[in-house]
Amino acid sequence: MPNEHAEMERQQSVELIPDFSYEDRHEFVTNLAYRLWKKRGSPQGSPEVDWIAAEQALYSSLVASGLITPSATDMQHLEEILYR
């Protein structure tokens, strides 16, 4: 499965303007997770794979834009960081 994760990371080149509210971030993650799921062929089960990938893409975009300063513990508290 490591190859699948690397493939998903490559597919996640997402451009967005991450200056939006909690609801918009949640909606963005929902839509991106759905698109990632469709790209994977709409498999049954394991929806968290696409959801986590979408959250990580949003996080990366927020860091790249300077709206979030990354820390070593961010991945453990990703939901708090993204949706506060």
What is the extent of the structural domain holding 28? 23-83
Cα separation, 8 vs 3, in Å, equals 9
Structurally, the chain folds into a number of domains equal to: 1
Cα separation, 72 vs 47, in Å, equals 26
> Residue 72 domain-assigned?
yes
For the cut 90, the answer to whether the pLDDT of residue 41 exceeds it is: yes
> Residue 17 domain-assigned?
no
Q: Categorize the per-residue pLDDT at 20 as very low, low, confident or very high, splitting at 50, 70 and 90.
A: low
Closest Cα partner for 8 from 45, 64, 55, 44? 55
Closest Cα partner for 48 from 17, 14, 78? 78
Is the pLDDT higher at 16 or at 27? 27
pLDDT tens for 73-83 read 988 888 888 88
